[in-house]
């Protein structure tokens, strides 16, 4: 991927035919950190729904679309990239300081997020200008 601190994560899965699929994510293995928190997002019935619109100072996350599809827009302050998540075993690792926005959710979309830390509001950068200032200072 061209955006800094981001990469595609592929999970191991078993296609058990009529018995469905089994997909596995392990802490500090396929997921490149110790998982401290798991959350999911569903009920995305509106085509106009938008989530994210922030970056994190330290938090690392891996996002999966375990049902349906959505578009993830990534921005490291220099480069931007859009990724379509539509396969349950294909996730995106997002390190710190990545501005991200999620949209174009299919009505059946379920997003699963694995995170490296507990919820901490002080870790959020919710203002895009502040984000740009921060990444420029880091250069
Ligand atoms: P936010 O991370 O902004 O949602 P998204 O990026 O998916 O659009 O979180 C929305 C609200 O939920 C915010 O008020 C904080 C709260 N929240 C928690 O309390 N714990 C959590 O683990 C998360 C992810 C959010």
6-137: CATH topology is: Jelly Rolls (2.60.120)
Q: Which residues contact 33 (CB under 8 A, 6 or more apart)?
A: 27, 60, 116
Ligand 1 atom showing the smallest separation from residue 50 Cα: 8
Domain ranges, ordered by start, for the chain? 6-137
pLDDT at 41: 98
Q: Does position 59 have pLDDT exceeding 90, yes or no?
A: yes
**Residue among 119, 121, 126, 128 whose CB has most ligand 1 atoms within 8 A, to mutate:** 119
139 pLDDT exceeds 90? no
* Mean pLDDT, residues 67-79 taken together: 98
Confidence of residue 61 (pLDDT cuts 50, 70, 90): very high
pLDDT-derived band at 102, boundaries 50, 70, 90: very high
- Whole-model pTM? 0.96
Kindly report the protein residue whose alpha carbon is nearest to atom 16 of ligand 1. Answer: 119
Most ligand 1 atoms within 8 A of CB, residue of 51, 114, 131 to mutate: 51
> Which bin fits 16, alpha (ψ -120 to 50), beta or left (φ > 0)?
alpha
Q: What is the pLDDT at residue 138?
A: 82
Q: Compute the Cα dihedral for 10, 14, 20, 23 and give only its sign.
A: negative
User: Catalytic residue positions?
Assistant: 54
Give the integer Cα–Cα distance in Å for 50 and 18.
35
Ligand 1 site, residue 40, Cβ cutoff 6 A: no
3-class DSSP assignment, residue 110 = strand
Q: How far apart are CA 33 and CA 20, in angstroms?
A: 28
CB-ligand 1 contact for 39 (6 Å cutoff): yes
Instruction: Confirm or reject: Cβ of 134 under 6 Å from ligand 1.
Output: no
Residue 123 phi, psi dihedral angles, 5° rounding:
-85, -10
């Amino acid at each position: 991927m061209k955006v800094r601190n981001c990469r595609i994560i592929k999970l191991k899965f078993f296609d058990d035919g009529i018995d469905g699929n089994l997909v596995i994510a392990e802490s500090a293995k396929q997921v490149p950190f110790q998982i401290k928190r798991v959350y999911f997002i569903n009920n995305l019935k509106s085509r106009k729904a938008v989530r994210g619109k922030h970056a994190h100072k330290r938090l690392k996350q891996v996002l999966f679309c375990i049902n349906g599809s959505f578009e993830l827009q990534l921005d490291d302050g220099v480069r931007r990239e859009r990724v379509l998540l539509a396969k349950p075993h294909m996730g995106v690792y997002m390190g710190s300081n990545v501005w991200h926005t999620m949209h174009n959710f299919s009505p059946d979309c379920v997003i699963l997020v694995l995170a490296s830390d507990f919820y901490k509001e002080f870790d959020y950068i919710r203002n895009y200008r502040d984000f740009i200032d921060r990444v420029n200072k880091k250069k």
